[in-house]
Amino acid sequence: MGEIDLIDIRSQLEEEMTWRSNEIRLLRNQLAYIEDDEDKKRYRKALVVMLYSHYEGFCRTAFLIYVDAINKARVLRKVANDYIVACSFAEEFKAYEDASRKPKIYKKIFGNKLPDDTKLHSYARQVDFISNMHSFLDKPVTIPDTVVDTESNLWPVVLKKILFRLGLPYDAFKEYEGQITMLLNRRNGIAHGRDKEGFDENTYSEIEKATFEVMKAVIEVIMSALKEKRYLKESC
Q: Are 87 and 143 in contact (CB under 8 A)?
A: yes
First CA to last CA across the chain, in angstroms?
A: 12
Largest interatomic CA distance in the chain: 82
Which of the given ranges, 103-112, 114-123, 152-161, has the highest pLDDT on average? 152-161
Q: Which residue has the higher pLDDT, 199 or 235?
A: 199
- Give the confidence band of 106 by pLDDT, cuts at 50, 70, 90: low
Mean residue pLDDT of the chain comes to 88
Q: How many CA atoms lie within 13 A of 115 on its CB side?
A: 11
Q: What pLDDT is attached to residue 50?
A: 95
pLDDT band at 82 (very low <50, low <70, confident <90, very high): very high
pLDDT computed for residue 92 by the predictor: 78
Q: What letter does residue 197 receive in the DSSP assignment?
A: S
| Distance from chain centroid for Cα 100 | 32
For 170-182, write each residue's pLDDT tens digit: 898 999 999 899 8
Beta-carbon count within 10 A of 45 CB: 19
Summarize pLDDT for 2-22 with one digit per residue, the tens. Answer: 899 999 999 999 999 999 999
Q: Which residue has the higher pLDDT, 233 or 198?
A: 233
What is the phi/psi pair of residue 76, to 5°? -70, 145
| Share above pLDDT 90 across residues of the chain, in percent, rounded to a whole number | 68
Q: Provide the β-strand partners of residue 232.
A: 80
Predicted confidence (pLDDT) per residue in 44-53, tens digit: 999 999 999 9
CB 107 within 8 A of CB 114: yes
How far is 38 from 151, CA to CA, in rounded Å? 33
pLDDT classification of 107: cutoffs 50, 70, 90 = low
Residue 186 is predicted with a pLDDT of 87
Q: What is the mean pLDDT of residues 65-90?
A: 94
pLDDT band for position 204 (cuts 50, 70, 90): very high
The model's pLDDT over 17-39, given as tens digits with 9 standing for 90+, comes to: 999 999 999 999 999 999 999 99
